[in-house]
Structure 1
Amino acid sequence: MRPTVVLIGPMGSGKTTVGRVLAQAWNVTARDTDHDVEASQGRSISDIFVESGEEHFRRLERDAVRRALAEHGGVLALGGGAVLDEETRALLAGHQVVFLRVGLSDAVKRVGLATSRPLLLGNIRSRVKALLDERTPIYEAVATFSVDTDGRNPDEVADEIRRHIEENR
């Protein structure tokens, strides 16, 4: 069993929301590895970062991705930083991986200023920009296809992904 599609991208790109729309359209289930980590630990990602550190969270995240890739046959959304791990990138090889590209302005609007995201402590706009600058080349290298999400609703993004995947089967 393998996912129909794996969605990657930064926070605010719409991975979870677009994943749900795609899953409904294809009549499969949606899964989010961030939710998997929270469920397995009984605490939020923010709490994991604060109490156990980012390195511990990244190990949990890598394990969650490995399990989901092996056992989930629907739409899979990965946490924004999952692709930073070399082993995770290797695990994604051979999968249909879609990068949901989002610009700085839209990402900041979607994430909001009152955020519980641990990597955004301080100036949110500058932190989002730094994360986009650092991670975009990695997302592009891992993805088999990219979709721009700026100024688009989740249905429009999901429709483009569906068309692309169905045309390239």
Structure 2
Amino acid sequence: MQGPVVVVGPPGSGKSTVGRLLAERLGVGFRDADADIEAAEGRAISDIFADDGEPVFREIEERTIARTLTEHDGVYALGGGAVLAEGTRRRLAGRTVVFLSVGMAEGVRRTGLSSARPLLTGVNPRATYKTLLDERLPVYREVATCEVDTDDRTPDDIVAEVIERLDPDSGDPTNMVRSRG
């Protein structure tokens, strides 16, 4: 396999859960950008946001992703806002990028409007989630080579669909069929 299969999507879309399962099914390693950042920084992402602010977090995130995209050949789950960085979008060009889409109601239910998700805290987390989806949806679609709806589906079903979209001639996950689900 050449380069990782990258999984993107908003909070609650299942990037980490589906990514781990996809890696297992493909027999490759799994990395999670948020977990890598927390390990490197020695603190939770919510603490980075609180102590240093979102711009500092985004710089750390972009550097982490740039490095991992060159080091890792398995499945790589990015944080929900990672695709907002132009440099990250450039680095994703020509790679296999799976966009896990989720509707607002399902995303809110799955995230539980958790305080561990710093962008969803505040006065009206539902409105914040809707705004986040509205702003990011075009960007997720811009970088994606494959879009899979996750609403009312199990991780196994989602992974099966992603695997179905692999190029049947090569079986290589980096050669996924460009399609929308």
What is the TM-score normalised by the length of structure 1?
0.96
CA distance in 1, matches of 2:114, 2:90: 35
Alignment RMSD (CA, Å) = 1.1
Q: Which amino acid aligns with 1:129?
A: K
Could you list the per-position Cα deviations for residues 57-93 of structure 1 after superposition, in whole angstroms to 9, with x for gaps in the alignment? 0011001111111010110000000000001000001
Q: Displaced runs of 4+ in structure 1, greater than 2 A?
A: 166-169
Q: Which moved more, 1:70-79 or 1:119-128?
A: 119-128
Q: Does 1:133 pair with 2:134?
A: yes
What is the TM-score normalised by the length of structure 2?
0.90
| Partner SS state of residue 166, structure 2 | helix
| Partner SS state of residue 160, structure 2 | helix
| Aligned pairs (5 A) from 1:1-80 | 2-3=3-4, 5-80=5-80
Change (3 A) 1:47 1:29: same
CA distance in 2, matches of 1:139, 1:167: 25
Structure 2 residue ranges without an equivalent (≥5): 170-174, 176-181
Compute the displacement of 1:167 (Å).
Answer: 2.9
Could you list the per-position Cα deviations for residues 111-136 of structure 1 after superposition, in whole angstroms to 9, with x for gaps in the alignment? 00343211112222111101000000
Q: Corresponding residue for 2:144?
A: 143
CA distance in 2, matches of 1:166, 1:25: 16
Compute the displacement of 1:166 (Å).
Answer: 3.9
Q: Which amino acid aligns with 1:104?
A: M
Could you list the per-position Cα deviations for residues 101-160 of structure 1 after superposition, in whole angstroms to 9, with x for gaps in the alignment? 000011001100343211112222111101000000000011111000000011111110
- Aligned-pair identity in percent equals 54
CA distance in 1, matches of 2:114, 2:25: 32
Q: Which amino acid aligns with 2:130?
A: K
